[in-house]
Amino acid sequence: MAEPELLLDSNIRLWVVLPIVFITFFVGMIRHYVSILLQSDKKLTQEQVSDSQVLIRSRILRENGKYISKQSFLMRKFYFNNSEDGFFKKTKRKVVPPSPMTDPTMLTDMMKGNVTNVLPMILIGGWINMTFSGFVTTKVPFPLTLRFKPMLQQGIELLSLDASWVSSASWYFLNVFGLRSIYSLILGQDNAADQSRVMQEQMTGAAMAMPADTNKAFKTEWEALELTDHQWALDDLEEELMGTDLNFEGMFKRELQTSMF
């Protein structure tokens, strides 16, 4: 015998489903702009700026070296890759890993991240769970197994309820992680409103990542430049131009018609 279909009151859509969507959306927008106000500018040293410019120069040489003469290309390559005193060979940078004990700005950034990301999620989630407790909000358009009940039906302990139904608390968390496309459309790709991206960075340690290893970057660029040979793009240009069939027929006809009238 088939179970009777559960019908939801239309007022649930107006007073539960849509308010949770709007609250989650506007909280994400506020979190984005608060994060912009609280973020601290990362100051780069003169050495870091100089190293980045050197890497850019080497990359441009590899990509556009075909437009300069072979002698000019080899001179620049010798400056970077000389086995004795080349820049990438002789330059060694000391990489100091950041430590919260020695760098108080790291602790400040961690505190700002908790205030703007973790705290609003706990407060808003608790308020929604208390205000809209016990409501069934929507239903997913495909059948699910009973293993999905703890995830989609938080706050509702009904064994007879189909696993496809979503409770109000679960609907809030689905909106937290499901509004990524809307945030990207309004705020751009790199935004602070995307809670899933922020949590992923915290789980993978991207927020406290080690600084870039300049020595490793120099070694990688040295290997790439070492494999690059000079192939002048203007070689045999005269022969190509002389061998091109220049069609002046249309131009002469146009001049003849102009002179006739």
Q: What are the domain boundaries of the chain?
A: 10-226
53 — pLDDT class (breaks 50, 70, 90) = very high
Measured in whole angstroms, how far is the alpha carbon of residue 69 from the centre of its chain? 39
More confident residue, 102 or 25: 25
Residue 1 pLDDT:
42
Nearest partner of 8 among 132, 137, 159, judged by Cα:
137
Residue 222 pLDDT:
92
Residue 76 pLDDT:
94
More confident residue, 103 or 125: 125
Residue 163 pLDDT:
87
Measured in whole angstroms, how far is the alpha carbon of residue 157 from the centre of its chain? 39
Nearest partner of 28 among 186, 168, 208, judged by Cα:
186
Neighbours of 166 (CB within 10 A): 23
More confident residue, 144 or 95: 144
Q: Where do we find the tokens 């929507």? A: 138
Q: What is the pLDDT of residues 56-82, one digit of tens each?
A: 999 999 999 988 989 999 999 999 999
- 52 vs 56: CA distance, rounded Å: 6
Question: What is the rounded average pLDDT for all residues in the chain?
Answer: 80
- 38 vs 86: CA distance, rounded Å: 43
- Rounded alpha-carbon distances, angstroms, from residue 53 to 13, 79, 214, 218, 259: 56, 15, 12, 12, 58
More confident residue, 1 or 108: 108
The string of DSSP codes covering 48-62 is HHHHHHHHHHHHHHH
- Rounded alpha-carbon distances, angstroms, from residue 133 to 28, 153, 173, 239: 22, 11, 14, 81
C-alpha angle with apex 44: 192 to 58, nearest 5 degrees?
A: 105
The mean per-residue pLDDT over the stretch 229-245 comes to: 76
The mean per-residue pLDDT over the stretch 123-128 comes to: 89
Residue 250 pLDDT:
59
The mean per-residue pLDDT over the stretch 11-24 comes to: 92
Residue 257 pLDDT:
57
Residue 207 pLDDT:
42
Tokens of 140: 């997913």
Give the orientation angle of helix 168-178 with respect to helix 119-131, to 10 degrees. Answer: 150
Q: What is the pLDDT of residues 113-122, one digit of tens each?
A: 777 878 888 8
Residue 56 pLDDT:
94
Measured in whole angstroms, how far is the alpha carbon of residue 169 from the centre of its chain? 29
More confident residue, 150 or 56: 56
- 230 vs 223: CA distance, rounded Å: 15
Measured in whole angstroms, how far is the alpha carbon of residue 242 from the centre of its chain? 49
Tell me, yes or no, if the pTM score tops 0.75. Answer: no
Q: Do the beta carbons of residue 86 and residue 225 sit within 8 Å?
A: no
245 — pLDDT class (breaks 50, 70, 90) = low
Tokens of 243: 């061998």
Whether the pLDDT of residue 252 is over 60: the answer is: no
